Each structure stands twice: as structure tokens, then as C-alpha cells.
Amino acid sequence: MSCDFVVFDLETTGLSPRYHEIIQIAGTRMRNGTVVTRDSFFSYVRPEGPISSFITAYTGISTRDVANAPPICKVLAAFSEYVGEAVLIAHNGQRFDAKFLWAVCEQKQLKARPVELIDSIHLSKRLFGSSRGTGHGLDVVLARMKVAISNRRRHDARGDVSGLAQAVERMWRKLNLDATCSGIPRAQTLLPKPSVQR
């Protein structure tokens, strides 16, 4: 039995799903623990408010980059179509990415569907342990798994997804996980039903 997964990342205007907005989404597909080359998703998102100079310095994303981007409802609908029946994977996804997706669906009153999500931190903890002082931030995981982000910068969703997907693939092999990633905890988030266009 095989199962599709989509490794994804969001860039946002801040840390609060209630007060901040998504400005970039990237994803790449995995099947049976292997990255599916050239099967990816990317979009900037036009926020309702301006992007601060701090966020531009942190992510490299400016108000100019998103000026002609589609709004969040349209981007999330397209991302939901791309995801299909796949399980999502994000690093620190339970505490961050899942909450932003859930918040957008609720705030915009989208007809939503539940989607399973695996936080790749669980893979890192399974592989390296969770004793005090054992870090599981993305930079630490990338270094441990000897993954270099060469063509994109960190904190650009495309660069983070590229690096994370490689790290997940390598952790998957080291953990000898089956095609469905069974035994790794799953959470839930929301995405718009694919037919929704707003």
C-alpha cells in the first residue's frame, strides 16, 4: 500500500494565525518515502496588509513581490487541489503551519475539509531522541542529515521545502518506515474543499 505525502511550508507576516497573514506557500510531493521530482507547488499570496521591513529582511519577501499575487482564498483552493488525498508534512507543523491553515479556513468561512498532518519534528525525535539539549529546529535537522539548501535561501518557502523534503526522505530511510509512515503521530488541519473558488 502506498500513500502520497506533501511536504509544505508557509511564510507569513508574523507568528499569530489570528493577526498575521500567509504570504507564500510551497509544497513538494513524496510517495513511498521518496521525493517525486518536479511535482511541486508554489505561490506568493497577496496579503491584506503591508509586509514589515523585519519580515522582508527575514524572508526576502517584500510587498512588491506579492503585489500581483492572488489572494489567500484562491491560493489555498489551488493548494488543496494539489494536495488531493495526500497527508501533509511540515516542520513544527502542529504549532505553526497547521494553525495558519485552520485559521484562514475559519476566518474566511471557507467550506473546509480535514487533512491529516505529520510534524517532521516527530521523525527527528524518533531518530535522535528527545533528551534535554537535543535540538530539533530545521537548521539543526538539515545539518544532521547533511542537507544543503543551495538554490534558495532559508525562510523562503521554496528553499525550506526543498531542504525539508530531502531531510524527511533521509530520516524516513534511516528509520526504515513503511510506505504509509505508520507509527508516526498525526494531527489534523483544514484545507478548502477543492471545488471551492472564492
Q: What's the pLDDT score for residue 151? A: 67
Half-sphere exposure (Cβ direction) of 55: Cα atoms closer than 13 Å: 22
Per residue in 57-75, pLDDT (tens digit) is 999 999 999 999 999 999 9
Contact yes or no for 67/117 (Cβ under 8 A): no
Sorting pLDDT into bands at 50, 70 and 90, what band is 48?
A: very high
d(CA 42, CA 53): 23
pLDDT (0 to 100) of residue 56 = 95
The single-letter DSSP state of residue 88 is E
Q: What confidence tens digit (pLDDT) does each residue in 80-130 have?
A: 999 999 999 999 999 999 999 999 999 999 999 999 999 999 999 999 998
The label of the residue with cell 517584500 reads: 62
| Average pLDDT in the chain | 93
Which pLDDT value is given to residue 196?
A: 43
pLDDT band at 198 (very low <50, low <70, confident <90, very high): very low
- Residue 2 has a pLDDT of 61
Quick one: pLDDT at residue 22? 98
pLDDT above 90 as % of the chain: 88
Would you say residue 133 has pLDDT above 80? no
pLDDT for the residue 154: 81
CATH architecture of 4-192: 2-Layer Sandwich (3.30)
**CA atoms within 13 Å, Cβ hemisphere of 71:** 7
In this structure, of 9-18, 96-105, 149-158, 160-169, the range with the lowest mean pLDDT score is 149-158
